[in-house]
Amino acid sequence: MMSRKRSESKSSPPGLLTEIQTPIRTDGLDNHYHITSDELGRGKFAVVKKCVEKSTGKEYAAKFLKKRRRGRDCRVEIVHEVAVLESARWNSRVINLHEVYETEHEIVLVLEYAAGGEIFDHCASEEALTERQITRLLRQTLEGVHLLHQSNLVHLDLKPQNILLTSLSPLGDIKIVDFGLSRRLGTGSELREITGTPEYVAPEILNYEPITTATDMWSVGVIAYMLVTGESPFAGDNKQETYLNVSQVNVDYCKEAFASVSELAVDFIRKLLVKSAE
């Protein structure tokens, strides 16, 4: 069976999209896909597993999202994520949505499979990427973010774990994933929300100031810093220390890690890690 869920009747939080066109299937994911034991990612309320479509043999990533979180019904947030992926179908830098399934407790998004994994693996690797390779990955990331911003969509959780690669060797193209925290701007009122991952959030998030497209650009600056140095610019010993480093923009550009980094790259990062969103 299939159901086409066009909108949610409950009032939704600001910035959430509520209308979708993708049919939500209820006839069982297992009937159409072989779910492998390969776990591609895991969060508090979601797990991503590799799956193979039985009719075609094609590989996909199945993202299992819990509908209830901390005793609250979060179906509307999942529908929003589906709607964002639908609106970004024409954006080649965003992961493609293939199908959606629903069970009693979960909604499963069947997504394009990015075989190269997370660019985070390159931040933590001893084999550093060249600056030319990093430039290409950042350019593609900015292309994807720019197209999202043109649709008044902000990601709000850009980090190396949410940017995947289509292949590892040779180094493929990037695909932006995980739109669970994304929001649409310009829906009538200013958007203020404490959201995101501590090491990557912009100062305006912590100060509960209006969120704009500039909020994502700060995160791109953090990603760029991590790609060229292999280190996180703001990570402290605890969440409070990390937040203090972000709010005070405590960035060290004098480390040994910057010894082989070009002035142009440092200048790019400096211009993004600016406290004033304007």
Q: Kindly report the CATH number that applies to the domain delimited by 117-272.
A: 1.10.510.10
Which of 44, 183, 38, 58 is closest to 117 using CA atoms?
A: 38
* Distance from C-alpha of 121 to C-alpha of 227, rounded to nearest angstrom: 10
pLDDT reported for residue 123: 78
Domain boundaries for CATH 1.10.510.10 within the chain: 117-272
pLDDT reported for residue 7: 46
Query: Is 8-112 a CATH 3.30.1370.30 domain?
Result: no
Which of 79, 65, 75 is closest to 19 using CA atoms?
A: 79
Among the ranges given (222-226, 245-249, 252-256, 257-261), the one the predictor scored with the smallest mean pLDDT = 252-256
Domain boundaries for CATH 3.30.200.20 within the chain: 8-112
Burial of 170 (0-12, 13-18, 19+ CB in 10 A): exposed
Compute φ and ψ for 271, nearest 5 degrees: -80, -15
Q: pLDDT tens, 138-161?
A: 999 999 999 999 999 999 999 999
Report CA 163 to chain centroid distance, whole Å: 6
pLDDT reported for residue 11: 53
pLDDT above 90 as % of the chain:
79
Task: Specify the residue for token string 């080649």.
Answer: 92
* Catalytic annotation, residues: 157
Q: Which two tokens stand for residue 102?
A: 């629903």
